[in-house]
Structure 1
Amino acid sequence: MPVSPPIPKLPPLRALRAFESAGRLGSFAAAASELGVTPGAVTALIKGLEADLGAPLFTRQPRGVELTALGAETLAAFTAAFDALGLATRALWSSAAPRAVHIATLPAIAQLWLSPRLPALRSLAPDIAISITAMEAPPNLKRSPHDLCLFFSDGPGQVIASDVIYPVCAPSLAPRLQSPDDLAHVPCLTDSAWDQDWPRWLAAANTRITPRGPIFSLYALALEEALNGAGVLIGHHPLVAPHLESGRLVAPFALRLPVKPPLRLWSARPLEKGHAARRVADRLTGQE
């Protein structure tokens, strides 16, 4: 009587994901952040995988980890496989919920640029449900459940607006600012994520003062304080333009400094005409 050979046991998918993420990012901690687990969990998963294989995939060093020859040789294939799995899953989600669109963007863009446009989007496309996730860095759209990314980026995609920076303040504060040197005598508001805004603009203005003032972890909070007259903020034009148009903010100096990268919208795959994500993208880029 024929006997079927035993089916080889495959390594756990979670362990393979931990290996691929740690190998691609070069760090167990970065892999843990990406996968939403602890660094200890990543370490345990990779140790278990190495035990199953009977060979090491990483060399542990005081300052981090490095792929062994075996790990480096096989990493690309696993990256391609997980990217393909992520795209297939994204297609499955899109087919299951064809009228739902998920957008990932910076907190400042979500609050100051995207949110004011949502009423018009809902009016033009009432059949589409739009969800927004605010995050500090673009996700890997091949792996994440998001349809669109909206960030200041030099990558691929459609440019929404160029970024230009310049000081802005409430009209009540403007009379105290006759030249850039006067910034030494007023609070200069800073967003911690864009802490180089002031040095870049002041260098372009040939001013050597050191700006002093409160630091905020959210640009929207810093902007609200500028609106309240609490100080001067470096404005990013796509985010402050409505307040300049309304007169709630003014730009006391003529110098406007173009900076990169621009505000850009992109997707992980071509968006078919008529698809909900394509309709939202076309409206955000002014093509519909």
Structure 2
Amino acid sequence: MPISPPRPRPLPLNALRAFEAAARLEGFAAAAEEIGVTPGAISAHVKQLEQALGAPLFVRTARGVSLTALALKVLPDLTRGFDALAAASRTLQSDAAPQVVQVVALPSVAQLWLSPRLPGLRQAAPEIEISVTAMEAPPDLKRAPYDLYLFFGDGPGEPLAPDVIFPVCAPGLASKLKRPADLANLPCLSDSSWSGDWEAWATEAMPGQRFAPRGPVFSLYALAVEEAVNGAGVLIGHEALVAPLLASGRLVAPFDIKVRLQRQLSLWSPRPIREGSTVDRVARWLRQGSAGLL
């Protein structure tokens, strides 16, 4: 009678994933954000793995955690393995649903730049399904299941539009602004993600003058734009995002001074785009929609 010896139990995959992310990103909070769980869940997974191994992976002190020699030894292999798994998963998703395109974008870009272009894309290619995820920063290129990225920055990607900034406001407020110094008499709206916009513009528009904008701060740029349209104050407009509102007259630019920043609105993909693919068609559409902005 054949004998079937018991097989060794494999290490829990979720625990390995949690450990790899925490070790690579040098923190449980960063790993939790990448994976989409709580820091407590990451800590529990790591403890589960350490118990299964019978050896520590992190040295815990009052100042934080650091990797043990064992953890440092296996981390490169685990990272390569999870990167390969992520790539295979993306291939499976892409081949199983070739008409679905996953786009990740800055929230303001998703709302003010991408969303107005989607109806035209659906009309031109109704068979293509666009899924949009809004994130404050680009996710890890190797791990995230997205086909196209749309973010402002000075890093990778194909430039779609420069980041040109200048004050904008509702037409009713424009009459109160004859010169930049008049901004001191009106609320100046700000966005917490782009906190340096007013300073960057004022440095060129009011050289040698001290200017401290006073007014409410918003965590969402699209909300700040809506409040500017409502007449709540003056906002630094990003030309690529407020162009339709300027064209319609809902917002106006009270001054002629514009400042072009180093960053730009860029489009990129975490992997080569196959010519003629659905992702390629969407990317081409977005490029055409940006013609004349560079």
1:28 aligns with 2:28: yes
| Partner-residue secondary structure (3-state), 1:155 | coil
CA distance in 2, matches of 1:253, 1:22: 49
TM-superposed CA distance for 1:53, in Å, is: 2.2
Equivalences, count: 288
Distance in 2 between the 1:283 and 1:262 partners?
A: 18
- 1:251 alignment partner in structure 2: 253
AA matched with 1:237: E
Instruction: Give the match for residue 98 of structure 1.
Output: 98
1:55, 1:204 → 2: CA distance?
59
Does the aligned pair in 2 maintain the 1:104–1:132 contact within 8 Å?
Answer: yes
Deviation at 1:6, TM superposition (A): 4.6
Are 1:28 and 1:39, in contact at CA under 8 Å, matched by a contact in 2? yes
Equivalent position of 1:233 in the other structure:
235
Q: Tell me if structure 1 keeps the 8 A contact 2:34–2:139.
A: no
Which residue identity is paired with 2:275?
A: K
CA contact (8 A) 1:158 1:285 kept: no
Letter in 1 for 2:265: L
**Root mean square deviation, CA, Å:** 1.9
Q: 1:39 — aligned with what?
A: 39
> 2:288 aligned with 1:265, yes or no?
no
| Residue of structure 1 in register with 2:213 after alignment | 211
SS in structure 1 at match of 2:171: coil
> Using the alignment, how far apart are the partners of 1:108 and 1:152 within structure 2?
10
Counterpart-to-counterpart distance in 1, 2:199 and 2:135:
25
Deviation at 1:117, TM superposition (A): 0.5
Give % identity.
60
Match of 2:15 in 1: 15
Contact 1:164–1:256 (CA under 8 A) maintained in structure 2:
yes
What is the alpha-carbon distance in structure 2 between the residues aligned to residue 90 and residue 155 of structure 1? Answer: 23
Moved more, 52-61 or 14-23: 52-61
Q: TM-score, normalised by structure 1?
A: 0.94
The one-letter code matched in structure 1 to 2:164 is V
For 2:221, the aligned partner's letter is Y
Separation of aligned partners in 1, 2:97 and 2:168 = 43
The reply on whether 1:186 has 2:186 as its aligned counterpart is: yes
Q: Secondary structure at the match of 2:127?
A: coil
Which residues of 2 match residues 70-81 of structure 1 at below 5 A? 70-81=70-81
Deviations 1:237-257 (A, max 9, x none): 110112222222222222211
CA distance, structure 1, for counterparts of residue 131 and residue 45 of structure 2: 33
Q: Deviations over 1:92-115 (max 9, x none)?
A: 011111111111111111111001
Question: Aligned runs of 1:75-154 on 2, under 5 Å?
Answer: 75-154=75-154
- Distance, in Å, in 2 between the alignment partners of 1:155 and 1:79 is 23
Secondary structure of 2:37's match?
coil
SS at match of 2:162: strand
Q: Which amino acid aligns with 1:14?
A: N
- What are structure 2's unaligned runs of at least 5 residues? none
- SS of the residue corresponding to residue 145 of structure 1 reads coil
Counterpart amino acid of 1:140? D
Gaps of 5+ in 1: none
Deviation at 1:26, TM superposition (A): 0.8
Cα contact 2:165–2:238 (8 A) shared by 1:
yes
Distance 1:41 1:248 in 2: 47
Q: Deviations over 1:250-285 (max 9, x none)?
A: 222222111132111111111111211111011111
* Aligned position for 1:224: 226
TM superposition shift of 1:147: 1.3
